């Protein structure tokens, strides 16, 4: 029973009634989750760099079997001479030695480690910026797809209106043909026009399925119809926030080159160990336990590291490539925003002109219907008036969808909050 209720309720749970609901579904879908994991990964990498500055401590236990008696600990010569003279003293040598102990190591001064932390932070900022931009891109895609969905719905309504008009005309024409007052060829033309309407509506249904699939892939929600939406704000000009991920990457690339250079600096490490050994002395077989420890510093000074010079060159090329990519992307965005911003006023003007044109064409169609019914207008001429109305309505709806998409493209480029622009 529970499974049946869940199955019946699932379509309602997945149905979105508004744009904000689609945005919420988007943020919990796989597309955004992937970016969230990248941010988490960059955060962990930052933690890993910080962790490398702490001491590394290991506990060990071992058993060794040697072909010859081997020393358990280093023995001073004078002490060893006394042991050789007195064989009753167990000498710290054996073929079988058990050991247990602890050892540590830690960097005291390794310049590149501190710089690596700066790189990890820059990469984390880049991942966060990329996540934000990708969310905006997907939200813009959802809005644009929904706008196209609305365009297709309105276009189909126009075709439905044309179909009803043609069917009404066909009834009147059929009577005229049956009475011999009109040629049958005129009826064929009306039927052909009705067939073209059916083909157009079928094409619209195919396009709808693609749009539905796009929204579902982004949000997990399968739309049966487009959701209503309206502007509550417009885009705000400013910096190209879309450049932020690449800008942070360039900072990371610059730090990478610095890291490669710093690997040629001297590095200071501390290390130490404590070992407890247990064995049977090889000279008299007595049980013997020994303890041994050390602590020290190591200064590592690179003198000749040809591979490191190559790594510096590679890092420099990577940095230059990123900088060129940034300039290229900036030029593209500058050109794109100029085109999009200038097109908005043209789109607004087109919408006004299309609305006026539709009113005029509808009036002309009404006159054409009267003239056609009275026999003063040829079938071809009448059908052209029908087609003109639908074509102009299609232009209007397509222009409205284009305006939505233009606004959303600009919002993404400037990093505007789309949720504050659309509801």
Q: 87-144 pLDDT, tens per residue?
A: 777 888 889 999 999 999 999 988 888 888 888 888 888 988 998 999 999 999 999 9
The answer to whether residue 4 is domain-embedded is: no
The answer to whether residue 398 is domain-embedded is: yes
Residue 294, classed as helix, strand or coil, is strand
Q: In whole angstroms, what is the distance from residue 405 CA to residue 148 CA?
A: 9
The answer to whether residue 7 is domain-embedded is: no
Tell me the whole-structure pTM to 2 decimals: 0.78
Same domain? For 67 and 200 the reply is no
The answer to whether residue 297 is domain-embedded is: yes
Which stretches of the chain drop beneath a pLDDT of 70?
1-16
Crossing angle between the packed helical segments 244-262 and 306-373, to the nearest 10 degrees? 170
Number of separate domains in the chain: 2
A 10 A CB-CB count for 331 gives 10
CB 128 within 8 A of CB 104: no
Q: What share of the chain is helix, strand, coil (3-state, %, to 5)?
A: 70, 15, 15
Parent domain of 151: 14-53+110-265+305-420
Same domain? For 178 and 74 the reply is no
Q: In whole angstroms, what is the distance from residue 394 CA to residue 177 CA?
A: 33
Q: What is the dihedral of CA 25, 28, 30, 33, to 10 degrees?
A: 150
CB 268 within 8 A of CB 107: yes
pLDDT at 339: 95
If you compute the radius of gyration of the chain from its CA atoms, what whole number of angstroms results?
A: 40
DSSP 225: S
The answer to whether residue 349 is domain-embedded is: yes
CB 138 within 8 A of CB 26: yes
Same domain? For 204 and 253 the reply is yes
pLDDT at 4: 36
Q: Structure tokens of 11?
A: 């379509």
Residue 292, classed as helix, strand or coil, is strand
Same domain? For 279 and 400 the reply is no
Q: In whole angstroms, what is the distance from residue 337 CA to residue 358 CA?
A: 31
The owner of tokens 């590095």 is 267
Q: In whole angstroms, what is the distance from residue 16 CA to residue 47 CA?
A: 40
Same domain? For 179 and 296 the reply is no
Same domain? For 223 and 83 the reply is no
The answer to whether residue 141 is domain-embedded is: yes
Same domain? For 34 and 178 the reply is yes
**Residue 152 belongs to a domain with what CATH number?**
1.20.1600.10
Same domain? For 402 and 286 the reply is no
Same domain? For 122 and 218 the reply is yes
Same domain? For 275 and 234 the reply is no
The answer to whether residue 6 is domain-embedded is: no
Crossing angle between the packed helical segments 306-373 and 111-178, to the nearest 10 degrees? 20
Same domain? For 104 and 199 the reply is no
Looking at 276, 301, 326, which one is the last position of a domain? 301
pLDDT tens digits, 173-229? 788 777 777 777 888 888 898 999 999 999 999 999 999 999 998 888 898 899 988
The answer to whether residue 242 is domain-embedded is: yes
Q: Which residue in 303, 308, 295, 222 sits closest to 261, CA to CA?
A: 308
CB within 8 A of 268, min separation 6: which ones?
107, 108, 109, 110, 297, 298, 299, 300
A 10 A CB-CB count for 129 gives 21
Q: In whole angstroms, what is the distance from residue 45 CA to residue 29 CA?
A: 25
CB within 8 A of 186, min separation 6: which ones?
173, 177, 379
Number of Cα atoms under 13 Å in the Cβ half of residue 266: 5
CB 62 within 8 A of CB 99: yes
* Maximum separation of any 2 CA atoms in the chain, in Å: 142
Q: In whole angstroms, what is the distance from residue 218 CA to residue 146 CA?
A: 12
Same domain? For 247 and 354 the reply is yes
């Amino acid at each position: 029973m529970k499974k049946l209720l869940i199955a019946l309720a699932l379509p309602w749970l997945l149905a979105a009634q508004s744009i904000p609901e689609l945005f919420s579904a988007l943020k919990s879908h796989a597309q955004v989750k992937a970016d969230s994991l990248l941010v988490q990964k960059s955060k962990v990498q930052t933690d890993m760099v910080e962790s490398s500055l702490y001491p590394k401590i290991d506990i060990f236990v071992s058993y060794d079997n040697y072909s010859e008696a081997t020393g358990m600990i280093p023995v001073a010569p004078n002490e060893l001479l006394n042991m050789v003279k007195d064989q009753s003293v167990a000498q710290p040598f054996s073929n079988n030695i058990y050991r247990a102990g602890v050892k540590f190591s830690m960097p005291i001064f390794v310049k590149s480690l501190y710089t690596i932390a700066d790189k990890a932070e820059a990469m984390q900022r880049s991942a966060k910026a990329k996540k934000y931009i990708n969310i905006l891109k997907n939200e813009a895609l959802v809005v644009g797809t929904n706008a196209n969905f609305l365009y297709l719905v309105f276009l189909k309504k126009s075709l439905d209106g044309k179909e009803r008009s043609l069917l009404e005309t066909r009834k009147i024409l059929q009577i005229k043909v049956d009475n011999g007052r009109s040629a049958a060829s005129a009826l064929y033309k009306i039927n052909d026009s009705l067939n073209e309407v059916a083909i157009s509506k079928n094409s619209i249904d195919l396009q709808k399925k693609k749009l539905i699939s796009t929204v579902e892939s982004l949000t997990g929600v399968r739309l049966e119809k487009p959701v209503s939406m309206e502007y509550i704000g417009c885009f705000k000009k400013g910096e190209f926030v879309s450049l932020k991920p690449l800008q942070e990457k360039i900072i990371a690339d610059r730090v990478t080159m610095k890291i490669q250079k710093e690997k040629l600096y001297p590095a200071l490490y501390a290390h130490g160990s404590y070992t407890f050994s247990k064995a049977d002395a090889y000279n008299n077989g007595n049980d013997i336990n020994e303890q041994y420890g050390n602590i020290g510093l190591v200064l590592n000074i690179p003198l000749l590291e040809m591979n490191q010079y190559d790594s510096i060159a590679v890092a420099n090329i990577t940095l230059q490539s990123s900088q060129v990519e940034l300039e290229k992307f900036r030029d593209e965005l500058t050109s794109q925003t100029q085109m999009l911003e200038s097109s908005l006023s043209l789109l607004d003007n087109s919408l006004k002109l299309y609305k006026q044109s539709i009113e005029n064409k509808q009036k002309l169609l009404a006159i054409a219907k009267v003239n056609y019914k009275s026999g003063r207008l040829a079938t071809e001429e009448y059908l052209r008036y029908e087609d003109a109305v639908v074509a102009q309505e299609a232009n209007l709806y397509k222009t409205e969808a284009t305006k939505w998409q233009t606004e959303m493209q600009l919002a993404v480029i400037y990093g505007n909050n789309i949720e504050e622009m659309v509801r």
